[in-house]
Structure 1
Amino acid sequence: MSEIRHIVFDIGKVLIHYDPELPYRRLIPDEEKRRWFFAEICTPEWNIEQDRGRTWEEAEALLIADYPDEAENIRGFRRNWHEMVPHAYKESVAIMETLIDQGYDVTMLTNFASDTFIEARERFTFLARPRGVTVSGDIRAIKPDRAIFDHHVTAFGLDPKATIFIDDSAKNVEGARAAGWNAVLFTNAETLRKDLVGYGIEI
């Protein structure tokens, strides 16, 4: 195993909490209708296209054309996005900042719409501490596609064999491994510490 020099963090559900249900418990109080709304209208498949670079205006127009009666709820996704990311995971952030302080090369690789990432970076100042970030919405490629991992390697001069990626999605972890990276599945900070020790990284 090559010595790990580069550590790459995902952001959502690793460093900051994300839950689209949070504002919709207020916007659509009825649980059954809310479940239907996320299953049929503002689906994960719809949302990921904003992470790939589609504009919110285009995304909203596509749905409103088919569901005009839900126009306000559809627009509510972007309008209330800030409520979906209410707080950071302090223990995960502490791990990341400790790794930076220890001299590791830390970057971030995230599926994020360009504009909401700008908003997140303004709210969560620790996102400025790593050397840099690849935002899917900026380059129009998303995890787990090989292209985004190769882009990150080139953009930041990484050696894939000396890189470890931390993500909460098993598909993204497998995508990183397919690109020649080391990768671990994030579940919580305590487990992450143990996983990093397994790669010779003491925190």
Structure 2
Amino acid sequence: MDKQKINTVVFDLGGVLVDWNPEYLYRSIFPSEEERRWFLSTVCTQDWNLQQDAGRSLQEGTAVLLQKFPDHETAIRAFYGRWTEMLSGPIQGTLEILRHLKSNTDKKLYALTNWSAETFPVALEMYDFLHWFDGRVVSGEEKMRKPDKAIYQVLINRYNITPNSSVYIDDMLYNVVAARELGFHGIHFQSPQQLKAELIALDVL
């Protein structure tokens, strides 16, 4: 790939720009790490949460678990009732990269995120930097989610993106792999320092 031709940077949000982790909330509900890990791997699982990210309503998702695990009603309802307690703010190093790209380059900036359509507006109110993008695609609004290639295609078509002149950044490797298969230069985010080094190597920063 001709490094000089990269003109677009696409960011995932949770785990890349926003520090979101259910553990932050559930530490206050389950002081025991063993009990907390059991709950998050058996009841409010990642796969269950992704169903809401794919468009299922929070009410329906909660009802499904209440039927299966009635003894855990308080903890289940807390997942979305106290959802903001899972957010500890921006990942500062990545935010500085985004700020630099926005202020000092002519790169187009987009967000492609797996996020519930009902909770994303809350994040938009909390974090100004979510408004810095030239456009965004939110899975819950589209009723499809990564790594389904169809949602990447929505991004490509809506904003006239050329994948082979674009960088895609995500903390989930399987989402990066899907982007690479569509022609994006994929970066598997592990830390702001690693991301910065890879973007410098590509002459993006």
- TM-score tier after normalising by the smaller chain length: over 0.9
Higher mean alpha-carbon deviation, 132-141 vs 27-36, is at 27-36
1: CA distance between counterparts of 2:52 and 2:12?
Answer: 17
Work out which of the residue numbers 57, 62, 71 in structure 1 matches 2:59. 57
One-letter code aligned to 2:168: F
Work out which of the residue numbers 9, 30, 43 in structure 1 matches 2:32. 30
Tell whether 2:111 aligns with 1:123.
no
| Identity level (%) | 35
One-letter code aligned to 2:181: A
C-alpha deviation, 1:29, in angstroms: 2.2
Match of 1:195 in 2: 198
1: CA distance between counterparts of 2:110 and 2:38?
Answer: 37
Match of 1:104 in 2: 107
Tell whether 2:88 aligns with 1:86.
yes
One-letter code aligned to 2:60: E
C-alpha deviation, 1:33, in angstroms: 2.0
Tell whether 2:8 aligns with 1:6.
yes
Name the SS of the counterpart of 1:114 in structure 2.
Answer: coil
2: CA distance between counterparts of 1:10 and 1:39?
Answer: 23
Aligned length: 202
Name the SS of the counterpart of 2:18 in structure 1.
Answer: coil
C-alpha deviation, 1:96, in angstroms: 0.8
Q: Which runs of 5+ in 1 are unaligned?
A: none
Tell whether 2:188 aligns with 1:185.
yes
C-alpha deviation, 1:30, in angstroms: 2.8
Name the SS of the counterpart of 1:187 in structure 2.
Answer: coil
C-alpha deviation, 1:179, in angstroms: 1.4
Match of 1:16 in 2: 18
One-letter code aligned to 1:73: A
Match of 1:153 in 2: 156
2: CA distance between counterparts of 1:66 and 1:149?
Answer: 34
C-alpha deviation, 1:142, in angstroms: 0.9
C-alpha deviation, 1:81, in angstroms: 0.9
CA contact (8 A) 2:112 2:138 kept: yes
Q: Which runs of 5+ in 2 are unaligned?
A: none
Query: Which digits, 9 at most, give the CA deviation of each residue in 1:107-139, with x for residues without a partner?
Result: 100000012111111101111011111000000
CA contact (8 A) 2:58 2:118 kept: no
Name the SS of the counterpart of 1:158 in structure 2.
Answer: coil
1: CA distance between counterparts of 2:107 and 2:174?
Answer: 25
Query: Which digits, 9 at most, give the CA deviation of each residue in 1:72-108, with x for residues without a partner?
Result: 1111100111011111111211111211221110010
1: CA distance between counterparts of 2:82 and 2:178?
Answer: 31
Name the SS of the counterpart of 1:115 in structure 2.
Answer: coil
2: CA distance between counterparts of 1:80 and 1:135?
Answer: 21
CA contact (8 A) 2:30 2:36 kept: yes
- TM-score where L is the length of structure 2: 0.95
Match of 1:136 in 2: 139
Name the SS of the counterpart of 1:106 in structure 2.
Answer: strand
